[in-house]
Structure 1
Amino acid sequence: MTPVTRLDHVVIAVSDWRVATDFYRDVVGAEVIGVGGGRVAFRIGPTQLSVHGPGMDLAGDVARLPVRPGNSDVCLVWDGPVEAAVAHLRRHGVEVETGPVPRFGAGGPGTSVYFRDPDGSLLEFISYEA
């Protein structure tokens, strides 16, 4: 058995640092972490969204086809009833594209709502509350 215990981070890309930071902090609830050079990362619990954006040199350790703004698909656990997630998104003026709908995630059966970040990446809040 491989001793991997959890997902540490994934990469998303954004077209505007400030707009993305405001969205991920205010709508997603991420902790904004400065990583130097004007760059940030977004922490959600023990997992991090590392961010690629304008002005970055992408030479080095990146995917063969680097992540681009608008092409990520990320599911985040909503700790509470999915109706509260829908209300939260509405308060922030974020349109729910799909849901609530039943989905199967890492925690088993849940209920999800889908929406997009400012660049068009698909985000999902999944609730495991019955």
Structure 2
Amino acid sequence: MHQARVKLDHCVIAVSDWKRSTTFYQSVLGAEVVDHPGGHVAYRFGDQQLNVHGPDLDIGSLVARPPVAPGGSDLCFVWSGTVEEVLAHLRRHHVEVEEGPVDRSGGRGRGVSVYFRDPDGSLLELITYQ
């Protein structure tokens, strides 16, 4: 099998409310919030990062065409525990499960996923691998 020379470093999400989204990504997904010049932030998960575009941020011209819109992302995160722990965690944070647990195929092979949404409606998935 060919060894990839690239690995995903970061991607971009857009939010409509900085505080609401930062609270969600910190409390529900455990993001480390990284402050950047100009008032914008990124959400870091180990060595991967979500750069965040939002209201009143001049992001320049190096963006997707059309730019990512709030609610327009579909992201999957690896959960290091069990699917039962995922469900309990989401319940504790009053996050509605949209679908799951369901068998899925991810970057590490077969897993079990639970789907839910961030405050803007982006689809989020937590996958567990056995």
TM-score by length of 2: 0.95
Displacement of 1:3 after TM fit?
Answer: 6.4
The corresponding residue for 1:38 is 39
- Whole-Å Cα distance in 1 between the matches of residues 81 and 60 of structure 2? 41
Q: Which residue of structure 2 lines up, in the alignment, with residue 77 of structure 1?
A: 78
Q: Which residue does 2:120 correspond to in 1?
A: 119
- Indicate the residue corresponding to 2:12 in structure 1: 11
Q: Secondary structure at the match of 1:37?
A: helix
> How many residues are matched?
129
Aligned to 1:59: 60
Question: Which residue number corresponds to residue 91 of structure 1?
Answer: 92
| CA drift at 1:59 | 2.8
User: 2 CA distance for matches of 1:32 and 1:105?
Assistant: 26
- Judging changes above 3 Å, is the alpha-carbon distance between structure 1 residues 51 and 89 closer, same or farther for their aligned structure 2 residues? same
Q: Matched residue of 1:58: which SS?
A: coil
- Distance in structure 1 (CA, Å) of the matches to 2:103 and 2:42: 30
Matches of 1:3 and 1:43 in 2, distance apart? 23
One-letter code aligned to 2:64? A
Moved >6 Å (runs of 4+): none
In structure 1, the gaps of 5 or more residues are none
Cα RMSD (Å)? 1.4
TM-score by length of 1: 0.95
